[in-house]
Structure 1
């Protein structure tokens, strides 16, 4: 810009020099005439005034020319430098006169376009970043040198890592399970898409991951690296195992009574019905197994209903003391059969619940206590109120439960002592039904047990409003 102004100034001065040279030539021709007539002093005075006027006129014209031609170009240059620095908000002043109007307008259009492109790019980058950070799957990108270029929060949480540990590190340097590292090696070395399901031990459980890897291809088919996406499918694997166990358990539970009924029926048809004592004994067994089938089917239907997402109980103010007393009446024959004493200490507590469902809960808990208690022992039931909850304790003197098995008590078909519960006619679904019914009442159940001492089930129910 300075060189342009200098060249412009030299041009103006040259033009003024030529003007002054012509002026002095004319004066030089007239000067002898005036000098001969005795007006030499007056001539020099006139020449001085003319020179001063010429200089003033030259300065005004020069300043005007510089202002018209130099300042717009200087302003456009400064704006262009700001755009180079990344300041796309900079704008050039659009002068109304001169030949730089189109230049200023063009540079401003360029600045606006750059600003819009930058804003669009920033918006897209923010959207992409938000998508990557909040996606449910873990994601890691590795460049062609094997350096980690991008990881999302899910990946860091999945493998208990931090940004400092993974940032600009070689992927083999970060602490990830060997099976995952092996999968990354395969995708990185073959430069082809791959998918696999892997599992590895994490603390006290097994984690299952569905892995997908693909190469990242840029312009002109240039390989830029790979991207790995990992989705945790541990919950799906557990559900699949629960489904398999459920089918296997139902098949086993149905097979036993059906086999018994079929076997004794065939024996009777083969002629055993002629022997009255055998006939009565076999019919009793068939009736017992039929009752067991009926109980199993009933519990399965109940469990199916209470496990539905839209299952609700008809909650209303209910006397919990009467509920427990009714459940006691229902299990009285079982108590007398094993000579088990039932001790109760019941306060008058009104809960918000469905009386029939709560009777089912208490009956299942008492039947469970009777099943795992020896003859001539004691079962104790206490009912009290603690703050805004009703608390019921069902304590037996049974075989007890190992600490490692307590978490599995409420699984379908799970039994602490399979032989004893099966011989007593249990289905293995009672405690699972108890858990779901209490959750439907906004309540909960807790278990405390010691092997050889006994077990205490404690249920909590909200009081009536």
Structure 2
């Protein structure tokens, strides 16, 4: 009995010891797990988030909300991630704005890297030289089939390392263009060479307008000088004694009268053109019956028709109405009819036709005159431009009529066009919006 009790005691002790160790182990595991979750886990989350941020994933966040000293670290990392994400978003927005600005700017932009390779070319530049982007980017500028004048300009900048501004002409499939080109080296603050930038602006229209302005001044001076010279010359002749010769005096006075009338007509046309071109000039639009306007216009030139034994045939629907200033529209048609009379042979016919199509009324004036060469048609509506200068002056024209007609039609939101064949005649057609009465 005593022996049995002696054997049981160690067994109970061992069992108690095992249970104690088991409980201690479980407690240790639980404590370790809690310590890991509280101290190690947040650090792992922060480390993982930091790695993602380093990779450029600025949307990464450390998902830890439990209270404790670790929450400060997690909050700081998440705040850093948010700031980086906002900065990246702003950078992308600014990059898009810059890209849009460069792509849509009204000047050509070309960037050349430090290795003489083209790194960027905007849409305007590509359109002006007629090349595609994939054929330029990454290619050396000397091998990119750029215009020779532009390559020479870039070479000059590369050698001088100073900005250069030049005016060059570029020939493309779309025609010839005059460009104002500015090219400069790109150098960093430490003096390192980064490449070359080229800015190109199309000044073809400015050159054309400058040419027109010079031609206008020259033509005005010439047109004014002719009658003034005649008036002065014949008046001096009269003062020198020709006034006592009644026949010669009357002849000279008649010339002076005609030249002064021509001078007056020229000044009136200049003032009229200046008034029409003036910004803010308006016309009085109203519903106008086309047949009435054509009738008034024909009556205005009836005297000249009779002198040249010419006739006019008019074809116009009686119910055709347009929105127009009636006086200005009569001015347009009288001008076209006068030209048709002046540049046609005596005894020929003029036809005026009015039709309706697509919300517009078309009024055409067709003659059987000398016609206009095809190469002259693009400049026909320029001020003082004449196909036959001698005949224009003999007919009393100032060279401003068609320019005035063009501006009047633009004020009516209309157009004017011409078709002509030398020796067979010309047809001028105006298009003007219909009246929705």
TM-score w.r.t. structure 2 length?
0.91
Counterparts of 1:233-248 in structure 2 under 5 Å?
Answer: 233-248=203-218
- Given that 1:72 and 1:95 are in contact with CA atoms closer than 8 Å, whether structure 2 keeps it comes out as no
In the TM superposition, what is the alpha-carbon distance from 1:219 to its structure 2 partner? 4.1
Partner of 1:324: 294
Partner of 2:350: 379
The one-character-per-residue Cα deviations of 1:123-149 (angstroms, maximum 9, x if unpaired) are 222222222122111111111101111
- Given that 2:350 and 2:365 are in contact with CA atoms closer than 8 Å, whether structure 1 keeps it comes out as yes
Q: Distance in 1 between matches of 2:265 and 2:8?
A: 149
The one-character-per-residue Cα deviations of 1:63-82 (angstroms, maximum 9, x if unpaired) are 33333332222222211121
Say which one has the larger Rg: 1
Partner of 1:103: 73
In the TM superposition, what is the alpha-carbon distance from 1:96 to its structure 2 partner? 4.5
Structure 2, unaligned stretches of length 5 or more? Answer: none
Partner of 1:395: 366
Partner of 2:138: 168
What is the DSSP-based 3-state SS (H/G/I as helix, E as strand, rest coil) of the residue aligned with 1:225?
strand
- Given that 2:130 and 2:173 are in contact with CA atoms closer than 8 Å, whether structure 1 keeps it comes out as no
Partner of 2:333: 362
- Given that 2:103 and 2:122 are in contact with CA atoms closer than 8 Å, whether structure 1 keeps it comes out as yes
Counterparts of 1:33-44 in structure 2 under 5 Å?
Answer: 39-44=9-14
- Given that 1:393 and 1:457 are in contact with CA atoms closer than 8 Å, whether structure 2 keeps it comes out as yes
In the TM superposition, what is the alpha-carbon distance from 1:279 to its structure 2 partner? 0.1
- Could you say what the CA RMSD is over the residues aligned between the two structures, in angstroms? 2.4
Q: Distance in 1 between matches of 2:165 and 2:234?
A: 54
Counterparts of 1:385-424 in structure 2 under 5 Å?
Answer: 385-386=356-357, 388-424=359-395
> Kindly tell me: are residues 145 and 204 of structure 1, through their superposed partners in 2, closer, same or farther at Cα, counting changes over 3 Å?
closer
Structure 1, unaligned stretches of length 5 or more? Answer: 1-34
* Stretch moving more, 449-458 or 307-316: 307-316
The one-character-per-residue Cα deviations of 1:131-190 (angstroms, maximum 9, x if unpaired) are 212211111111110111122122122222222112222122223221122112222332
Q: Distance in 2 between matches of 1:439 and 1:215?
A: 46
TM-score w.r.t. structure 1 length?
0.86
> Kindly tell me: are residues 350 and 57 of structure 1, through their superposed partners in 2, closer, same or farther at Cα, counting changes over 3 Å?
closer
- Given that 2:111 and 2:119 are in contact with CA atoms closer than 8 Å, whether structure 1 keeps it comes out as yes
- Equivalent of 2:170, from 194, 200, 203? 200
Q: Distance in 2 between matches of 1:279 and 1:82?
A: 105
- Equivalent of 2:412, from 441, 445, 450? 441
The one-character-per-residue Cα deviations of 1:216-242 (angstroms, maximum 9, x if unpaired) are 222423221111111111111111111
Counterparts of 1:142-221 in structure 2 under 5 Å?
Answer: 142-203=112-173, 205-221=175-191
